Amino acid sequence: MLDTYQAVETPEGVELRLRVAGPAVRLLAWAIDCAVRLGAYFVLSIPLALLGQVGMGAYLVVLFLGEWLYPVFFEVHRGATPGKRRMGLAVLHDDGTPVGWSASMIRNLIRFADFLPLAYGFGLVAMLIHPQFKRLGDLAAGTLVVHWQPELVEAKLPNVKAAPPPVPLELDEQRAIVEFAERLPTWTPQRAAELATLARPLTGATGREGIDRLLAIAAWLLGRR
């Protein structure tokens, strides 16, 4: 594959295409979450410091809850922590369904192993060698961190000269070509060329030429003349 998309089938039998997130963007999300927590700790430390020993005990409880329950709460209720949402990421089960309490608890409790021996060393190594960029917590919980795709606006077919298909097409084949044309702006050039190559028996071309011929056929199927 020329990209990081992965096809998964939901329990309802619906196929989803998910783009798994790599270490770099996840590191940025982690840094944002750290900044959010540190800011909250600083603000809370001021009034709690006035309460003496009681305040110190309460502050330690806040630290514990913030470090261990902060990611779980946001992953379960919103699909991602504030840092992940800022970077356009979400945590899902391997089958593409929203992450639940047990899976989120497991993936975050295993963070202590990911952190070893220093600065998330084991977690980084695991992500670099795993094809889906999973750290140890993801492997234990059966979860994925993916790029969350926003709802797509209605796609418009590029303005190209229409051309009829060289052979009669079945209805499913016509739909596939039209969908290719409509979704073309959402793919990388390499991914579009990869898909256009699959239609070489129809177009007799690959690469950019294959893409152009599929667009021309799609325009003809949609009534352009």
- Rounded to whole angstroms, the Cα distance separating 161 from 52 reads 77
- Rounded to whole angstroms, the Cα distance separating 224 from 26 reads 45
Pairing of strands 15-20, 5-9: antiparallel
User: What residue spans of the chain are helical by DSSP H?
Assistant: 23-49, 52-68, 70-78, 82-86, 101-109, 111-115, 121-129, 136-141, 171-183, 189-198, 200-203, 207-221
144, 5 in Cβ contact below 8 A? no
Specify the pLDDT at position 187: 81
pLDDT in tens, the chain (225 residues): 445 777 776 555 556 778 899 999 999 999 999 999 999 999 999 999 999 999 999 999 999 999 999 999 999 999 999 999 999 999 999 988 889 999 999 999 999 899 898 888 999 999 999 989 999 999 999 999 999 865 444 456 777 889 999 999 898 899 899 889 888 887 888 888 999 999 999 999 999 999 999 999 999 988 877
- Rounded to whole angstroms, the Cα distance separating 74 from 80 reads 6
67 backbone dihedrals φ, ψ, rounded to 5°: -75, -35
Domain spans in the chain, listed from the N-terminal domain onward:
5-147, 171-221
Question: Tell me: the pLDDT tens digits for 191-216?
Answer: 889 999 999 999 999 999 999 999 99
31, 68 in Cβ contact below 8 A? no
Question: Tell me: the pLDDT tens digits for 158-195?
Answer: 778 899 999 998 988 998 998 898 888 878 888 889 99
Q: Residue 197 corresponds to which tokens in the numbers above?
A: 């190559």
- Rounded to whole angstroms, the Cα distance separating 93 from 145 reads 9
Specify the pLDDT at position 159: 76
What is the enclosing helix (H) or strand (E) of 165? none
Specify the pLDDT at position 188: 85
CA distances from 184 to 5, 115, 165, 174, 194 (A): 15, 40, 19, 16, 12
Question: Coil, strand or helix: which one is 6?
Answer: strand
Q: Tell me the pTM.
A: 0.66
Specify the pLDDT at position 11: 57
- Rounded to whole angstroms, the Cα distance separating 104 from 144 reads 11
Question: Coil, strand or helix: which one is 200?
Answer: helix
Specify the pLDDT at position 156: 64
